[in-house]
């Protein structure tokens, strides 16, 4: 099983862990990569999210061999057998503990800020990571959680080798893993996007996630969008208190599974905006390349999907379009009865909206990479034809697909700021 990214893995893992929701669990993410996965698990279960900060205690002359682990609250788990076989002196143990305790305190303070730890006493606790390689960290986390008073410990991960699962199973009450592929060499090989999770993302996720007994469930659902007589598959995500829904119009050669659109959609969800990703074309239509440039048809379907969504939720709507999808979004927004309050284009072809551009009323943001020279020129020409409030943002160093480090994150920030500045302050009462 290959995952698009950690968000995709978290959604799938959250679905598999659905039966645990009734037990009112606490979800703990292992930093850093496990936290984005845990965020979606917590949302699916309607559970509070926290971080589990664990430091392994490595034998001084063989650091990869752990003789124990420490966690917050003074929790300390020591393997007397390894201490004995390693002939570790008390001063050796104390020296390693001091160094790791200092790092544990630093990381916990960085991630959690001023928020208190979730009380695990008597609770079912689900420990989540983005994958398990050797099982050492996962096992240490399970031991620490149990020492902190958890009544039941569940270790969950999207992917792991069987031998690592056996190691974790010795210290967890249950282990849930979606895939145990043969030929496992690293966690990253089972992700299309396994880019590093920065500390800032961990902090943001923990700050945005519901906590305590009032944790609310985010509505993530597979839907069938009825548009122009067709039934088109889609994914609707509505975070708690969502104040608007952003409808994505994908570009040529991609679908609702586009990893770039999904990444931006997840970032918008974290900012409190709902998202709808759906396929504008049927599989048969996608086989004919000319259909992806049929802006009139794509715009009509986008408009019909907007009406369908409006009947489903009263939340205000906006568009996010990529490539030819940006032209479809602008053409749909130019309709006299269009309800959208803003449009954002990423690496788009607004020029393909042609004569409809002057009729667009929704404030429009055009985002283009500085190295996407032809598309940048086309965006500047299209911008000159817009009569609505508009802005062109050039992301330095980015090419057409925004694959360079940090460039797609810049798109998410720009889009969230545009939607927030031009949208409603809050959702309906």
Q: Quickly list DSSP for 287-302.
A: TSGGGGG-HHHHHHHH
Q: Taking residues 31-59, report their average pLDDT.
A: 90
389: part of which helix (H) or strand (E)? none
Q: How far apart, in Å, are the Cα atoms of 2 and each of 9, 10, 31, 81, 101?
A: 9, 13, 21, 38, 36
pLDDT tens figures, 282-316: 877 877 778 878 899 999 999 999 999 998 888 99
Cα Rg of the chain (Å, integer): 24
Which secondary-structure segment (H or E) carries 415? helix 407-422
- Check whether 54 has a pLDDT greater than 90: no
Q: What is the mean predicted confidence (pLDDT) over 193-199?
A: 91
| pLDDT surpasses 60 at 236 | yes
The answer on pLDDT for 29 being more than 80 is yes
Share the mean pLDDT of the chain. Answer: 88
Do residues 257 and 298 lie in contact, with contact meaning Cβ atoms separated by under 8 Å?
no
Q: Is the pLDDT at 425 greater than 70, yes or no?
A: no
pLDDT band at 426 (very low <50, low <70, confident <90, very high): very low
Distance CA 246, CA 226 (A): 17
Quick one: pLDDT at residue 254?
62
Residue 429 pLDDT greater than 50, yes or no: no
Mean pLDDT of 178-198: 92
The confidence score (pLDDT) of residue 253 equals: 59
- Where is average pLDDT lowest: 111-120, 175-184, 216-225? 216-225
**Of 2-11, 27-36, 235-244, which range is least confident?**
235-244
pLDDT at 366 over 70: yes
CA neighbours within 13 Å on the CB side: how many for 66?
19
> How far apart, in Å, are the Cα atoms of 374 and each of 31, 227, 349, 380?
41, 33, 10, 10
Residue 264's pLDDT band (boundaries 50, 70, 90)? very high
230-238 sheet: strands from edge to edge? 219-227, 230-238, 274-278, 245-249, 317-322, 343-346, 364-369, 390-395
Structural domains of the chain sorted by starting position, each given as residue range(s) with its CATH number in brackets: 6-212 (3.40.50.2020), 219-422 (3.40.50.1820)
Contact assessment for residue 291 and residue 285, using Cβ atoms and an 8 Å cutoff: yes
For 194-201, what is the mean pLDDT?
A: 90
Is the pLDDT score of 242 beyond 90? no
> Mean pLDDT across the stretch 169-186?
93
- Asked whether the beta carbons of 159 and 179 are under 8 A apart, the reply is yes
DSSP per-residue string spanning 114-142: TPPPPP-TT-EEEEE-S--SSSHHHHHHH
Distance of CA 270 to the CA centre of its chain: 8
> What per-residue string of b and e applies to 106-136 under the rule 16 or more CB within 10 Å gives b?
ebbeebbeeeebbebeebbbbbbbbbbbebb
pTM: predicted TM-score of the whole model, two decimal places? 0.54
């Amino acid at each position: 099983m290959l995952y698009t990214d950690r968000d995709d893995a978290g959604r799938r893992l959250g679905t598999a862990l659905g039966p645990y929701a009734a037990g009112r669990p606490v979800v703990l993410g292992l930093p850093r990569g496990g936290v984005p996965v845990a965020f979606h698990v917590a949302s699916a279960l309607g559970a509070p999210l926290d971080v589990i900060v664990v430091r392994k205690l490595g034998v001084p002359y063989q650091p990869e061999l752990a003789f124990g682990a420490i966690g917050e609250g003074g929790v300390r788990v020591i393997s007397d057998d390894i201490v004995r076989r390693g002939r570790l002196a008390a001063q050796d143990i104390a020296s390693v503990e001091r160094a790791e305790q200092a790092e544990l305190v630093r990381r916990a303070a960085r991630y959690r800020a001023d928020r208190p730890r979730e009380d695990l006493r008597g609770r079912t606790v689900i420990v989540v990571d983005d994958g398990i390689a050797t099982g050492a960290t996962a096992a240490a986390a399970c031991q620490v959680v149990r020492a902190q008073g958890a009544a039941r410990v569940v270790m969950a991960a999207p992917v792991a080798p069987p031998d690592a699962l056996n190691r974790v199973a010795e210290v967890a009450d249950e282990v849930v893993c979606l895939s145990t592929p043969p030929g496992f060499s690293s966690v990253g090989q089972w992700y299309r996007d396994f880019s590093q999770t920065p500390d800032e993302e961990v902090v943001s996720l923990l700050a945005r996630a519901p906590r305590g007994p009032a944790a609310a469930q985010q509505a993530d659902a597979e839907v069938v969008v009825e548009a122009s007589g067709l039934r088109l598959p889609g994914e609707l995500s509505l975070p708690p208190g969502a104040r608007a829904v952003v409808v994505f119009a994908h570009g040529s050669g991609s679908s609702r599974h586009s990893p770039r659109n999904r990444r931006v959609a997840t970032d918008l969800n974290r900012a409190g905006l709902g998202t709808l990703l759906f396929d504008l074309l049927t599989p048969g239509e996608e086989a004919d390349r000319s259909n992806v440039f049929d802006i009139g048809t794509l715009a009509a379907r986008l408009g019909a999907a907007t009406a369908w969504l409006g009947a489903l939720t009263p939340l205000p709507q906006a568009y996010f379009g990529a490539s030819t999808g940006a032209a479809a979004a602008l053409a749909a927004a130019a309709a006299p009865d269009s309800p959208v309050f803003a449009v954002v284009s990423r690496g788009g072809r607004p020029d393909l909206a042609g004569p409809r551009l002057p009729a667009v009323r929704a404030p429009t943001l055009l985002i283009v990479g500085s190295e996407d020279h032809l598309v940048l020129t086309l965006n500047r020409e299209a911008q000159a034809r817009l009569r609505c409030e508009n802005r062109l943002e050039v992301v330095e160093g980015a090419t057409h697909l925004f694959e360079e480090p940090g460039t797609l994150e810049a798109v998410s920030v720009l889009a969230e700021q545009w939607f927030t500045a031009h949208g409603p302050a809050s959702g309906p009462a």
